Amino acid sequence: MADVPNVPEVPDMPDQRLASLVPDGAPKSSRTLRLLGWGLALAWAAFLFFQSSSADAGGLLSIFPEVPDKVAHAVAYAVLAAFLTLGSGRPVLAVALAVAYGASDEIHQAFVPGRTPEALDLVADAVGAVVGSAVAVWGSRLLWRNRGSGALGRG
């Protein structure tokens, strides 16, 4: 058996995936934030799937004021991308995942009686995803800056 060369130990490095969202020196609550983001993203994706599985697209959303279809798509995918951004710490990845999920949702609708896929829905999903991810980045940076020595701050 050949000798395996010694590989030097890599010192602990900050989580580079969250570099844009969580500043250096942030406490371990950043891991909780990441897990929360993924959990909320999965729950929201399931909700979107449930909503698009019915001919009555607004079933659970009927408690909110009625908005144009494209606005509803943009808002729904802004929420998804914001959660994915918190979960992954990578805004570009979050937008890509949200848009891919939007594309799969449009394909899914082709198989649901009473629903039809629309390319403009996917455009609205993409616009919403970009906005949602940007808001998540902006909001998290603002939170870190304003928290200072708070529970989520640098201490």
Asked if residue 105 belongs to a domain, the reply is: yes
In this structure, is residue 15 part of a structural domain? no
Q: Would residue 61 count as lying in a domain?
A: no
138 domain-assigned = yes
Q: Are 124 and 115 in contact (CB under 8 A)?
A: no
- Interatomic CA distance for residues 112 and 126, integer angstroms: 22
Residue type at 61 in one-letter notation: L
- Domains: count for the chain: 1
| The pLDDT of residue 18 | 46
Domain range for residue 117? 37-55+67-147
Q: Decide if 107 is inside a domain.
A: yes
pLDDT at 8 over 80: no
Average pLDDT over residues 127-150: 83
- Exposure string for 30-68, b = 16+ CB within 10 A, e = fewer: beebbeebeebbeebbeebeebbeeeeeeeebeeeeeee
pLDDT at residue 119 is higher than 90: yes
Is the confidence at residue 145, as pLDDT, over 50? yes
Question: Residues near 138 by Cβ (< 8 Å), separated by ≥ 6?
Answer: none
In a domain, 131, yes or no: yes
pLDDT-wise least confident of 10-19, 57-66, 94-103: 10-19
- How many angstroms separate the CA atoms of 119 and 109, rounded? 12
Q: Mark out the alpha helices in 2-118 (DSSP H runs).
A: 29-52, 69-88, 91-109
pLDDT tens digits for range 40-84: 999 999 999 988 887 765 566 666 677 888 998 999 999 999 999
Q: What is the pLDDT of residue 63?
A: 64
Residue 155 inside a domain? The answer is no
Residue 21 falls inside a structural domain: no
Secondary structure letter of residue 58 according to DSSP: T
pLDDT (average), residues 5-27:
48
Take residue 51 and report the two structure tokens written for it: 């909503």
| Cβ contacts of 94 within 8 Å, gap of 6 or more | 81, 82, 84, 85, 87, 88, 129, 133, 136
Look up residue 8 and give its amino acid: P
